[in-house]
Structure 1
Amino acid sequence: MSAGYVIAQLKVTNPENYKEYVAKVSEVVKKFGGEYLVRNGEYQVVEGEDNFPRLVIIKFPTYEKALEWYHSDEYKPVKDIRLQNSEGNNIIVKGI
């Protein structure tokens, strides 16, 4: 089976409240077998626009597991914190 990847491009709009999301999300990611590959860090935009300066990439064992994590009851309250304190894109993609 192919791994599943979550690619999040975010702009944090309320840094103080966003800290709660950062503190809680790792435990839920780990529960579903997720592993952070990128969690912010130094980067350069070489093409396009830099609308969302925070980049996160999470690898899950399967595409289905990534979707299960995103739609889970465990992630929902944590996701709500992110949605209230940031804006951006979240993509789940099947690896090759």
Structure 2
Amino acid sequence: MKAYVIVDVTITDPVRYEDYKKLTLASMQPYGGKFVVRGGAAEILEGTWQPGRVVILEFPSAERAKTWWSSPEYTPAKAIRQSASTANMIVVEGVA
């Protein structure tokens, strides 16, 4: 079952974050990951959530998403992201 990694990012170092963006896609591809949303315009319809940059990644399964997140391919990019931003990130299973 497909799974989605949903991220709400607040960028603290835009220059360094650009380095992160350059590495992410290649790190996801061996795990079947792809971008669904990558920081497009967001509009609040209900509630008080004030998201920063919203990113949604699609993977073949939650297991593949978690394997990517802890993978050696993603580790260098993750270190850059963590130094250039703060984030909330979840993985959620899609509908069968």
RMSD, matched Cα: 1.0
Which ranges in structure 2 are unaligned for 5 or more consecutive residues?
none
Partner of 2:43: 44
Length-normalised TM-score, structure 1: 0.92
Matches within 5 A, 1:61-76: 61-76=60-75
- Number of residues paired by the alignment? 94
Query: How much does 1:49 deviate?
Result: 2.8
Measured in 2, the distance between the counterparts of 1:42 and 1:74 equals 29
Write out the 4+ residue segments of structure 1 that deviate beyond 2 Å after TM superposition. none
Length-normalised TM-score, structure 2: 0.92
Partner of 2:53: 54
Q: Is the 8 A contact 1:5 1:95 kept in 2?
A: yes
**Identity percentage of aligned residues:** 34
Measured in 1, the distance between the counterparts of 2:38 and 2:11 equals 13
Counterpart secondary structure, 1:41:
coil
Counterpart secondary structure, 1:42:
coil
Measured in 2, the distance between the counterparts of 1:66 and 1:76 equals 14
Counterpart secondary structure, 2:44:
coil
Q: Is the 8 A contact 1:33 1:60 kept in 2?
A: yes
Partner of 2:26: 27
